[in-house]
Structure 1
């Protein structure tokens, strides 16, 4: 297939979409919770809609909305969102070997659709760090399902949020959905150890301001993952 062909015609597009469908329910649950939370914070439906479509980052939205509703200085809102989204700098650095040859505009579009689970599935599918023609279609397949499930559920939560009773406990339900979704991705030592270390680091650094404990957890998990990857060649040589 020609590289100029639309990505949705490539078999890897369908594979990426299919693999993301399995976890789309958890993404949708989290999007619904975020949409409801934004409306119930009192910022207004139109602002919530604009924020959902432009920010496209549930954790940053949930952390920023109470600050906006409370009239916090804009620099505080920006700093909070920036700290929570610094993990995407790490993701982008890992993605760079695959997409650095693409034009700037195309990389900017990829950046908008970058998400945590897109990263996990992509790296599991292409662990080598070398670019290949099938990687872009695979990315867009997963991104289409991920963004679609998120935006549909988030917009539904925004539009219906004022009619959802608080006692339904959607926040807890969304958290449980995310935990189940994350658990399904842990298949071996290379995924379990970083996950356990990230959870431990997040709790240990909980007292840090601006939710910096999340950045600490991500950095710890990435460091553990890199250490495991670098140890594999050594183990292979010792066993040879």
Structure 2
């Protein structure tokens, strides 16, 4: 049986390779926030509260583009709704913990940490304190993300405005979805989302940001049924 410290350390080591992509992404998030005209304290506070790269960029972009606070918050909620699935998968390993402990651990659960911990959990079901591996991955991600975001904020303050960093927003999301271009059903869903956003672009309160992914999810559900 591994001790709590050993499991925590293992989690830190398992998540470490992901830092090669997470740290540059964090720097971009911090720099973009400053570039879009937000106060550095606000950008860093957002990184502390939301703690999610894609969500933070979407939140900043929507607010800077004139979207209402309601639409911005709802969009972040939709993007982060995948964590409901993470929680459902991890629940069997955390069922003995108190509600407060589960709540605290949920704050540091991120995509990469979930993937590594879930893989470790399946191979080591008999370990008593498995959740320390999840805490190890989450805390490592959190510390590196905060440092990277802070570095980006400092960097964004020195980058000349004429050079601009706004181009990094579409490039970042292209990098996220480019791997899904290999699958036809994923391409259909992305095209549907893009066409829907154009069709409903003039919807009140910039709500096309919410309408288009909902339509795309509906199409994805139909495609899944057809595949089965």
Normalising by structure 2, report the TM-score.
0.73
Which SS does the other structure have where 2:38 is aligned?
Answer: coil
Change (3 A) 1:93 1:197: farther
* Shift of residue 30, structure 1, vs aligned partner: 0.8
* Shift of residue 205, structure 1, vs aligned partner: 3.0
Gaps of 5+ in 1: 184-191, 228-240
Change (3 A) 1:76 1:213: closer
1-structure distance, mates of 2:152, 2:215: 27
2-structure distance, mates of 1:105, 1:47: 27
1:123 maps onto 2:118 in alignment:
yes
* Shift of residue 69, structure 1, vs aligned partner: 2.8
* Shift of residue 24, structure 1, vs aligned partner: 0.7
Change (3 A) 1:197 1:155: farther
Contact 2:57 2:169 in 1 (8 A): no
Change (3 A) 1:125 1:57: same
Map of 1:159 onto structure 2:
154
2-structure distance, mates of 1:201, 1:215: 9
Map of 2:201 onto structure 1:
none
Matched length = 208
1:57 maps onto 2:52 in alignment:
yes
2-structure distance, mates of 1:199, 1:107: 36
Normalising by structure 1, report the TM-score.
0.70
Contact 1:83 1:215 in 2 (8 A): no
* Shift of residue 71, structure 1, vs aligned partner: 4.5
**Matching of residues 189-208 of structure 1 within 5 Å:** 198=186, 201-206=189-194, 207=196
1-structure distance, mates of 2:169, 2:70: 27
Gaps of 5+ in 2: 198-207
**Matching of residues 19-98 of structure 1 within 5 Å:** 19-98=14-93
